[in-house]
Chain A
Amino acid sequence: MDGFKRRILDWLNERLGGEGIEEFLRHKRVPLHEHTFWYYFGGMALFLFVIQVLTGILLLMYYRPTASGAFESVQFIMTQVKFGWLIRSIHSWSANLMILVVFIHMFSVFFMKAYRRPRELTWVSGMLIFFIVLGFGFSGYLLPWNTLAFFATKVGTDMAGFVPFIGKWIMIFLRGGDQVTGATLTRFFGFHVAVLPGLATLLLAFHLLLVQRLGMSVPPGVEKRIKEGLEPERSIPFFPNFLLRDIMGWYAALGVLGALAAIFPWELGTKANPFGSAPAGIHPEWYFLFMYQTLKYLPSKVFFIDGELLGLMLFGAAGALWVIIPFLDYKAGGFGRRTRFFTGLGIFALGYIIVMSLLAIV
């Protein structure tokens, strides 16, 4: 058997050039230290993304992206199609878990200063993927065409209209008209199943390529202790040691997803009525709650600026700052005031998101 495997590998190596994959698998190592745990979240996000692609393809078999048929088609999936409830519930739960895992991955990378030279582009591409993930959430949320989704989309696209100069165009582009209608649903469907997956795949490939090229980052604190001889430099092979641990995590995640889908099947709600009132207690998905709560607190006018325009500008500026943070925190390898300031900024951002989200729930 081993000889047969060897022959296949040789055959492949001859055609693919060198011993690329074998070499890669043999040499890639993962640093082992007190923060190694956080390395698993990137792989976990990737795993959940794969789950999304697979269950998404299955949902496509029955889903119809029209105002008159969308709600009914999801209802059909949930009630008539064998295991339809399972597939849709896993898609919804996995989407939410993926966003949670991506948040954890982002903040762990942030606090471990893994974005420092030479990994700036890994961070930037990761942030772009993060925005795409939020876009997936926002566009996918509308697809069942229920009341909550309808008003969430109305508010979300209305906010885009506040962007100076081109806001109105963006809003019309997103909605496919002046109002949220079936045209919006068709567009969001296109974004959700074609545009965003394409972009996500390209960016993911780039992101993963950089991770492979540069290896895993060791936090500055650990790096320093290793340099001072206070801690030995330890690592484990990626293949099979780290990958097997990854797979254990993925296997557990599958179990959690199945359990969540079975115990808490995702609700469908009521069909959207464009000419009905927004229901009381309406709120966006949890990952937009901190922005939603901020908008609630902002008065209609702050000096001469509209409250929501101010909110939009603040979040836009904060998001842009977050993307370019490796270039601002360029002394992240040390322990000086500059880099401590950015750590503080991260703690503030995390605290703000958590507190505002909690305030929105209670």
Chain B
Amino acid sequence: MIDANSGKSAAPPAEGPADSSRRWVNLILGTGVVATIASFIYPAIRYVIPPPVAEATNLSVVAAKVGELKNNSAKVFRFGSEPAILIRDSEGKYLAFTAVCTHLGCTVQYRPDLHEIWCPCHNGTYDLQGRNVSGPPPRPLAQFQVHIQGEDIVVVRNA
């Protein structure tokens, strides 16, 4: 191998074939090292992102039994992977909404004293149409349909 450093001249050695091949070797080695690191990091990143769980496919759920709720009261029930709220208003009408506050995801509750849906985490309120009326919530609560089938109160999500 020709050694560029053994040249007697004190002047900076002109770029010879050795420098050029050294650059190539460095480039290839460097690329290899980067690729190796990437091949370690990529699986690690993918590993910590959990595999998606199949979205809850049930579009309807039995939320309560007829007669379970008094007028002006409510209950939180499980709808797929999230909580939802079934409200019976003062006139006895049933209403159902998602119970996940649109602000930061707390679970809301019904306030019989105010006839409103209230999130205690940051004091947000929604009216009985699900509209965000005060506090920080940015969007209304999604509403579900309520059907009474025999003894069951069934809440249905729009597909």
The residues of A with any CB-CB pair to B shorter than 8 Å are 151, 154-155, 158-159, 169, 172-173, 176-179, 183, 274-282, 292, 295-296, 298-301, 306-308
Contact = CB atoms under 8 A, between A and B. Distances in A.
B81 A178 contact: yes
Contact of A277 (B105, B109, B122, B136): B109
Contacts of B78: 275
A277 B121 contact: no
Interface string B50-89: 1001000000000000000000000011100111010000
Interface of B: 48-50, 53, 76-78, 81-83, 85, 99, 103-109, 119-123, 132, 135-138
A203 to B, nearest CB: 21
**Main secondary structure on B side of the interface with A:** loop
B121 A278 contact: yes
B138 to A, nearest CB: 4
A270 B105 CA distance: 20
Contacts of B122: 155, 292, 295-296
Given A154-B104, A278-B106, A278-B108, A179 B81 contact: yes
A147 to B, nearest CB: 10
Contacts of A278: 106-109, 119-121
Nearest to A172: B49
Contact of B138 (A155, A282, A295, A301): A301
Contact of A177 (B53, B108, B120, B136): B53
Given A151-B107, A277-B107, A300 B83 contact: no
B106 A308 contact: no
B138 A300 contact: yes
A296 B134 CA distance: 11
Contact of B83 (A274, A281, A292): A274
Contacts of B138: 300-301, 306-307
Contacts of A159: 104
Contact of B103 (A176, A282, A308): A308
Contacts of B53: 177-178
A307 B104 CA distance: 11
Given A151-B121, A176-B50, A298 B104 contact: no
Contact of A275 (B48, B83, B132): B83
Given A176-B50, A280-B109, A296-B136, 7 more contacts: A155-B104, A277-B83, A277-B108, A278-B109, A278-B120, A300-B132, A306-B138
A276 B135 CA distance: 21
